[in-house]
A and B are shown apart, each in its own frame.
Chain A
Amino acid sequence: MRDAIAQLVSDGDTVAIEGFTHLISFAAGHEIIRQRKRDLTLCRLTPDLIYDQMIAAGVARKLVFSWLGNPGVGSLHAVRRWTEGERPRLELEEYSHFGMVARYTAGAMKLPFFPLRSYADTDLPRANPLIRPITSPYVDEEVYAVPPLTPDVTIVHAQRADAAGDTQVWGLLGCQKEAAFAASRVIVVVEELVDEAVIRADPNRTILPGLVVDAVVVEPFGAHPSYAQGYYDRDNTFYLEWDAISRDEASLQSWLDEWVHGVTGRAEYVEKMGAARLLGLRPTPAPSGSVDYGEYR
């Protein structure tokens, strides 16, 4: 992880750590904090705790997003401290969920914009002038357009990949595929590294081919306190604890000192978090039925 972030993430980059509630790469976010990257433009539909932590750590100058909160709990207090009042310290560029998904999609497809049926008669286009009305070239109808989003780096967490970067995900798919194809560079962080044969036995589950992946990092529990379907549940206790930790700037900074700067990487974080807590998040099994692809020779 240290090498991947050092080589592929630079100060001033536009960075997307995607994963909608599911598979959020806290491991990569923490490494970016440890390496004290600066002036990043962070993109995510839901900034979640990881961007609250990264923004509090001072890595970002701008946030591009669509829903700003601690999901199921409340506010992101660090982001609020940086954005409320007379002199906000963080630049915001705000869309809706579909607007953000459409932006990655346009970026991945090399389109100049993406049209959607959102925003009419709302204040969002006034708040963000990059959301613009366009008229259909075919019928007399107005829709709204959003510009492409092409991150310098997209980072996704996944259940498994092979050494070449062929990546498989199950459970919520979010918009990791769109965000990765839109990016110049892609880092994949996985729970497990598997043989190529495992990938080839179930090609429908592949969301990214190694073709678009620049680095594969193996970090078990790398998405904690978010979750990995079939591997571990969201650590909701931590999401609740973060609400208290993050209300106070000093307690937040001492948390970062202890749990981010105070460890060398995810393995040490996992050890410090403790086996009992993490293994308690394991779900009981619910395996998929298998399908027969057939052998055609």
Chain B
Amino acid sequence: MSSASTGFTASEMMIVAAARELAGQRVCFVGVGLPNIAVNLAKRTVAPDLELVYEAGVFGARPARLPLSIGDPTIVTHATAVTSMFELFGFYLQGGLIDVGFLGAAQIDRFGNINTTVIGSYASPKTRLPGSGGACEIAQNAKSIFVIMRQSPRSFVDRLDFRTSVGDRVSVVVTDLGIYHRVEGELQLDSLHPGVTLDHVRSAMGWKPRVSESLVETKPPKPAELRMIRDELDPTGVYT
């Protein structure tokens, strides 16, 4: 549902902002969900030379539709290479060929550490989340990690319930409210999305954020970007 005042949704702003952060990047490891749509938008806009790498074992994917899952057959047809998962994780990822790993998260802390395993205790969890998948090794082996996730006091937490993936290489976090970059080991709010106030951001997180002295407003989505999301990438509105 788009906001009457802006003409785009918070999710659309988040996807567009995340896609723009990929300008100039070459080899990107794509995660499930929101990363999938942001990376596919970047490939169609700011980063046409981006090589899309999927953990299912594909290098240089050319998906003709938005992949429904991380192992959709559309990532195979017309790809540069299909590999075993051993090769993909061993040679491409652990071998150091991935510039950006693009991840989602259920919880993140101020240092960029990520939880996708459990809410509550591990032995008797309140909510059982999917677990690592490839995230733990992507976070440790890609040169840089981008995170895209919705921000709330439940997702931006002072203390993670479980550390699934380390934050050392997290360089960008894009949310539905703004954009953070890693400065001196900590996430710093550098940009607020249109219509979002600093107070709103502060109320939607579990720690007192470091804020850039030159905080800016994120440039709103262009009509062409919105058209691609609505007509091509997510016509049924699953992510937006």
Contacts and interface: CB of A to CB of B under 8 A. Distances in A.
A109 to B, nearest CB: 11
A92 to B, nearest CB: 9
B132 A66 contact: yes
B40 interface: no
A206 interface: no
Interface in A69-125: 69, 71-72, 75, 79-80, 83-88, 94-99, 101-102, 105, 116-124
Contact of A171 (B76, B122, B134): B76
Contacts of B137: 96-99, 116-118
Interface string B129-143: 111111111001100
A178 B89 CA distance: 14
Contacts of B129: 68
Contacts of A173: 57, 82-85
B166 A83 contact: no
Contacts of B133: 46, 66-67, 96-97
Contacts of A99: 137
B221 to A, nearest CB: 24
Nearest to A226: B71
B140 to A, nearest CB: 6
B171 to A, nearest CB: 17
Interface string A152-176: 0000000000000000001111110
A171 B82 contact: yes
A10 interface: no
A121 B166 contact: yes
B contacts with A: majority SS: loop
B131 A65 contact: yes
Given A68-B128, A85-B124, A98-B89, A123 B84 contact: no
Contact of B71 (A22, A85, A102): A22
A243 interface: no
B152 interface: no
B117 interface: yes
Interface in A113-146: 116-124, 126-127
A171 B164 CA distance: 30
Contacts of A95: 132
Interface string B50-80: 0000011110000000011111110011100
Interface of A: 20-22, 45-46, 65-69, 71-72, 75, 79-80, 83-88, 94-99, 101-102, 105, 116-124, 126-127, 170-175, 177-178, 227, 229, 233-234, 236, 239, 283, 286
Given A170-B82, A174-B84, 9 more contacts: A46-B133, A72-B68, A84-B124, A86-B124, A105-B86, A116-B94, A122-B136, A127-B117, A283-B73
A-B pairs with lowest CB-CB distance, top 9? A21-B71, A67-B133, A72-B69, A71-B69, A98-B89, A118-B137, A96-B132, A69-B130, A97-B134
